[in-house]
């Protein structure tokens, strides 16, 4: 099965996170909007620039140069000390938001993560998930990210480094010749600074030239690293996302509809499909949910949500779906034009924590049905089977609301 990989990279993390913390604590100054840097000890001429604002960049200030050099270029530059406690806090917020999508997350650095979305797309596309994550981080956490969308870690990382800030870029295999090969060879991921001059001496100045080079010659010149360079230049990377399993605190999914929907029965069908996706992942994680939450967004971007506790913790699709539809009916008002529907389950517990109930065997038939369907999805892919009478979300592309 083809891998589905996202790379999420925070734009100007240190400066953005410092700015958010200052605003949170009452500052009237947004340092993202002035010539500003995050730097080391300003009293020492050797203190260096760790991050810079766009205004500072326009003055010619560069990351890793000394603060003294930066102030020569920009006399009104303001310097702020690094706050690693703040950076850790925001990094953890980012990580826990991403856990709502997959538990296979590699924290590549404090401000970037790889996400393995294979088997977690739930009838959606990787690009749509990338756009949703980009939007949610901006709206819910207050900073922006670039998201790279690809079929391996290398291409996802390269894609996220394309035009910044606040962008979502794809780098599919067929896009390599037009998007990656024209780039300077120095921009190839994991290529050391000492290697670049040696490649220049071989008249290899672009990634495309490296990709078309004789890999045997590269191996003789650089050893195993020469083969790796050639593979990377050709978009070849079979490495896995190295993740440390961590249980999600909640599981959610939402869909932005291609047309506004005001018909309640159609909205119920959408909620049913999303509930199926959420319950499927709940079972994959070996968790049970105590609470169901439904979110609606109108055509005017007004958000509302309702939540309700379940009679007992469950991972059964029908029970979650019925609760979601019940909440939807409570929220729905005639004539509402809905553009987004979301379902979330939280207050999660391990299956072993569930207390025995008088009704524990009453849903045995539904549990068996879920198990059979899950096995088919695991073997043949999520989209191989759908519950009878339930609409495929893709079908809404062809619908016009009435």
Q: How many CB atoms lie within 10 A of CB 195?
A: 18
Tokens matching residue 115: 């996400």
Instruction: Examine the residue annotation and report whether 269 is marked as an active-site residue of this protein.
Output: no
What 8-state DSSP symbol labels residue 1? -
**Residue bearing tokens 């979301």:** 342
DSSP letters spanning 161-201: TSS-SS-EEE--GGGIIIIITTSBGGGSTT--TTHHHHHHH
Which of 58, 65, 106, 112 is labelled catalytic?
112
Q: Is 3 helix (H, G, I), strand (E, B) or coil?
A: coil
Measured CA to CA, the distance from residue 353 to residue 67 in angstroms comes to 55
| Spatial contact of 11 and 143, defined as CB atoms under 8 Å apart | yes
| Spatial contact of 116 and 102, defined as CB atoms under 8 Å apart | yes
Q: Is 392 helix (H, G, I), strand (E, B) or coil?
A: coil
Query: Angle, nearest 10°, between helix axes 224-233 and 215-222?
Result: 140
Q: Which residues are designated catalytic?
A: 112
């Amino acid at each position: 099965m083809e891998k589905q990989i996202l790379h999420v990279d925070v734009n100007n993390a240190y400066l953005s996170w410092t700015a958010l913390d200052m605003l949170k604590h009452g500052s009237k100054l947004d340092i993202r909007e002035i010539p500003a840097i995050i730097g080391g000890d300003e009293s020492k001429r050797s203190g260096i620039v760790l991050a810079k604002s766009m205004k500072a960049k326009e003055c010619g200030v560069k990351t890793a140069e000394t603060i003294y050099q930066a102030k020569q270029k920009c006399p009104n530059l303001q310097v702020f000390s690094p706050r690693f406690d703040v950076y850790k806090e925001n990094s953890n917020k980012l990580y826990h938001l991403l856990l709502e999508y997959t538990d296979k997350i590699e924290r590549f650095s404090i401000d970037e993560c790889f996400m393995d979305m294979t088997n977690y797309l739930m009838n959606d596309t990787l690009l749509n998930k990338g756009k949703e994550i980009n939007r949610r981080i901006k709206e819910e956490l207050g900073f922006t990210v670039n998201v790279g969308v690809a079929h391996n870690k290398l291409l996802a990382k390269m894609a996220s480094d394309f035009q910044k800030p606040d962008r979502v870029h794809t780098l599919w295999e067929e896009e390599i010749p037009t998007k990656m090969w024209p780039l300077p060879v120095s921009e190839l991921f994991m290529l050391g600074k000492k290697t670049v001059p040696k490649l220049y001496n071989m008249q290899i100045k672009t990634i495309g030239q490296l990709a078309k080079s004789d890999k045997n010659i590269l191996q003789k010149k650089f050893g195993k690293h020469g083969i790796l360079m050639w593979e990377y230049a050709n978009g070849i990377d079979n490495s896995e996302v190295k993740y440390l399993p961590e249980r999600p605190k909640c599981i959610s999914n939402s869909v932005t509809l291609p047309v506004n929907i005001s018909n309640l029965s159609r909205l119920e069908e959408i909620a049913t499909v999303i509930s199926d996706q959420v319950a499927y992942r709940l079972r994959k994680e070996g968790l049970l949910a105590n609470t169901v939450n439904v979110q609606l967004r109108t055509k005017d971007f007004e958000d509302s949500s309702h939540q309700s506790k379940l009679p007992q913790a469950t991972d059964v699709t029908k029970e979650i779906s019925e609760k979601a539809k019940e909440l939807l009916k409570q929220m729905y008002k005639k004539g509402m034009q809905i553009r987004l529907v979301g379902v979330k389950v939280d207050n999660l517990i391990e299956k072993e924590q569930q207390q025995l109930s008088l009704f524990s065997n009453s849903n045995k038939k539904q549990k068996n049905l879920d198990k059979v369907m899950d096995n088919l999805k695991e073997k043949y892919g999520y989209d191989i089977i759908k519950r009878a009478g339930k609409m495929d979300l893709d079908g809404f592309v062809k619908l016009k609301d009435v």
